Amino acid sequence: MSYTLIGAPVSLYTGKVRGYLRWKNVPFREELATREVYKQVILPRVGWSVIPVVIHHDGTPDGITLQDTTEIIDHVEQAEPGPSVYPDTVRQRLAALILELFGDEWLVIPAMHYRWIYNRDFAHREFGAMQNPHLSPEEQWTAAEKAVAFFSGSIKGLGVNPDSYAAIEQAYEAFLAAFDAHLAEQDFLFGSRPSIADYGLLGPLYAHLLRDPESGALMRRLAPRVAAWTERCHAPQHGLTGDFLPDDEIPAGVLPILRMFAAQQLPVLLDTADALTAWGEGHPDDQEIPRILGFHKAKIGRGDSVVETDRAIIPYPLWMLQRVTDYLDSLTGADREAAEELLRSMGAQKLIGYQLPFRLARTNFKLCRGG
Average pLDDT estimate for 23-35:
95
**CATH code of the domain occupying 2-79:** 3.40.30.10
Cβ-based neighbours of 93, under 8 Å, separated by 6 or more: 86, 87, 327
Contact 71, 62 (CB under 8 A): no
Whether residue 35 has pLDDT greater than 90: yes
Average pLDDT estimate for 267-280:
97
**Alpha helices per DSSP H over 106-192:** 108-118, 120-131, 137-143, 145-153, 165-183
Instruction: Dump pLDDT digits (tens) for 59-114.
Output: 999 999 999 999 999 999 999 998 999 999 999 999 999 999 999 999 999 999 99
Report residue 238's pLDDT band, with 50, 70 and 90 as the boundaries: low
Whether residue 8 has pLDDT greater than 70: yes
3-state SS assignment for residue 307: strand
Angle, alpha carbons 102-92-12 (nearest 5°): 30
Domain chopping of the chain, boundaries: 2-79
The full 3-state SS of 288-306, as one line of letters, equals ECCCCCCEEEEEECCHHHC
Report residue 320's pLDDT band, with 50, 70 and 90 as the boundaries: very high
Instruction: Dump pLDDT digits (tens) for 129-154.
Output: 999 999 999 999 999 999 999 999 99
Averaged pLDDT score across all residues of the chain: 96
